[in-house]
């Protein structure tokens, strides 16, 4: 992401110390064919470095600011991925880290933060409770909470997800972008990134439709768009897509405005649709994404069925986190199989039971 340094709020003498971002834009073949789309791409931040989600981008810019402001302790309120990124990059950059999470966060996400040595404070509440507490903590302590008192620097990092999409498409903008929405910041910053590239003359200006994706169990922004509300109504989250479980999204009003003005739309999907979509993306494109990526994939399918995404258009689906972080969401789909003895005849018997005759397979 540092190739876009001049477009980020960094000091003039900034020198990057480690690589972040620069993730693949995967041209879809099998899923595109299945969905009948000519030009479908997945922006794959499931493999973002160092902590396997797009949050690495926003933490990178926030920590540069933290250094400038002489913070020695940094932290965040998080649904998981942000805590992972803060813990990993704090370890790299030499900050103490204290992160705040809802107490029921997925075990993998907690481990993925703890391993780097960060202090984890589990809060009996949902993310909205955690976020409110962090606003109070930022007031009281001299800590750099990346998504609270460092937020202006933090949010700018998301633009690089958009810059990379444009560069990887050959310095051109897509027709449609489908973006998961938690707090609602990412979708607005991808749009800002695109606008900046147009202003610089690096890409030709054109209408881009922004589509927001949420889980039905936490869909204040999607609901606000679909019911054309003046103000969204906050919700109490209830979904396996915990990374998107923000019932009171701070950037919700901006996301709604962007979606409407761009001629896009928002949709939301059920927990079972999320699981189906995670498997679909893995089986067709070899991309294993977490529940947020399942949401975005499932919503894309819905938008195609609604004819809001057209077959001949260029569509980019934003995959924001790795599937290894939310394995509990899909574990029930893959019950353990029975082991066999380490003998050829045992395997032949296994194949017979699974597929039919051994002879047919041996001849192939």
Contacts to another protein by CB under 8 A: 128-129, 132, 135-136, 139, 147-149, 151-152, 155-156, 183-185, 188-189, 191-192, 231, 233-234, 236, 248, 250-251, 253-254, 258
Helix or strand or coil: residue 219? coil
Q: Using alpha carbons only, how large is the chain's radius of gyration in Å?
A: 21
Backbone angles phi and psi of 70, in degrees to 5? 60, 30
Q: CA–CA separation, 84 vs 80, rounded Å?
A: 6
- For the chain, how many residues are written? 364
Nearer to another protein by Cβ, of 112 and 185: the residue is: 185
Give the burial class of 139: count Cβ atoms within 10 A of its Cβ; 0-12 exposed, 13-18 middle, 19 or more buried.
Answer: exposed
Q: How far is the CB of 239 from another protein (least distance, A)?
A: 18
Cis amide prior to 92 (ω within 30 degrees): no
Residue 156 or 271 with smaller CB distance to another protein:
156
- Closest approach, Cβ 62 to another protein, in A, equals 13
Q: 229 vs 355, which CB is nearer to another protein?
A: 229
For residue 75, the surrounding DSSP H or E stretch is: strand 73-77
* Nearest to another protein of 163, 288 (CB atom): 163
When the beta carbons of 134 and 298 are compared against another protein, the nearer one is 134
Phi-psi region at 289: left, alpha or beta (left = phi > 0; alpha = psi -120 to 50): beta
- Which residues fall within 8 angstroms of residue 68, CB to CB, at 6 or more apart? 11
Of the candidates 252, 248, 221, 250, the residue with the CA atom closest to the CA atom of residue 235: 248
CB of residue 242 to another protein, shortest distance in Å? 19
| Smallest gap from residue 152 Cβ to another protein (A) | 5
Please say which residue, 135 or 355, places its beta carbon nearer to another protein. 135
| 192 vs 310, beta carbon nearer another protein | 192
Please answer whether residues 44 and 207 qualify as being in contact, where contact means their C-beta atoms are separated by less than 8 angstroms.
Answer: no
- From the list 152, 97, 106, the residue with the least C-alpha distance to 127 is 106
Give min distance, CB of 252 to another protein, in A: 8
Shortest distance, CB of residue 182 to another protein, whole angstroms? 12
Output the smallest distance, CB 308 to another protein, in A: 23
- Whole-angstrom CA distances from 298 to 28, 234, 282 are 15, 23, 13
């Amino acid at each position: 992401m540092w190739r876009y340094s001049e477009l980020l709020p960094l000091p003039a003498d900034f020198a990057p110390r480690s690589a972040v971002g620069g993730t693949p834009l995967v041209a879809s073949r099998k899923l595109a064919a299945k969905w009948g789309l000519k030009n479908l791409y997945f922006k794959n931040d499931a493999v973002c470095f160092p902590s396997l989600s797009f949050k690495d981008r926003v933490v990178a810019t926030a920590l540069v600011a933290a250094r400038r402001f002489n913070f020695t302790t940094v932290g965040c309120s998080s649904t998981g991925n942000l805590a992972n990124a803060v813990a990993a990059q704090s370890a790299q950059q030499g900050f103490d880290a204290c992160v705040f999470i809802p107490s029921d966060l997925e075990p993998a996400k907690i481990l993925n933060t703890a391993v780097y040595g960060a202090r984890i404070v589990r809060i009996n509440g949902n993310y909205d409770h955690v976020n409110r507490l962090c606003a109070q903590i930022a007031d009281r302590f001299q800590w750099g909470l990346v998504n609270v008192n460092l937020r202006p620097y933090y949010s700018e990092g998301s633009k690089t997800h958009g810059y990379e999409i444009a560069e990887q498409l050959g310095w051109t903008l897509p027709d449609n972008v489908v973006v998961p929405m938690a707090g609602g910041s990412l979708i607005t910053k991808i749009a800002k990134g695109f606008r900046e590239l147009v202003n610089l003359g690096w890409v030709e200006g054109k209408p881009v439709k922004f589509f927001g994706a949420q889980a039905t169990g936490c869909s204040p922004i999607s609901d606000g768009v679909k019911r054309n509300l003046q103000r969204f109504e906050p919700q109490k989250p209830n979904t396996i897509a915990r990374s998107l479980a923000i019932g009171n999204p701070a950037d919700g009003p901006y996301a709604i405005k962007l979606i409407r003005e761009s001629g896009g739309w928002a949709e939301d999907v059920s927990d079972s649709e999320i699981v189906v979509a995670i498997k679909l993306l893995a089986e067709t494109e070899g991309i294993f994404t977490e529940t947020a990526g399942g949401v975005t994939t499932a919503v894309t399918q819905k938008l195609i069925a609604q004819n809001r995404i057209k077959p001949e258009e260029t569509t980019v689906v934003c995959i924001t986190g790795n599937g290894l972080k939310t394995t509990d969401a899909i574990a029930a789909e893959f019950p353990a199989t029975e082991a066999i003895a380490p003998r050829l005849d045992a395997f032949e018997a296994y194949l017979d039971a699974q597929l039919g005759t051994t002879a047919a397979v041996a001849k192939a």
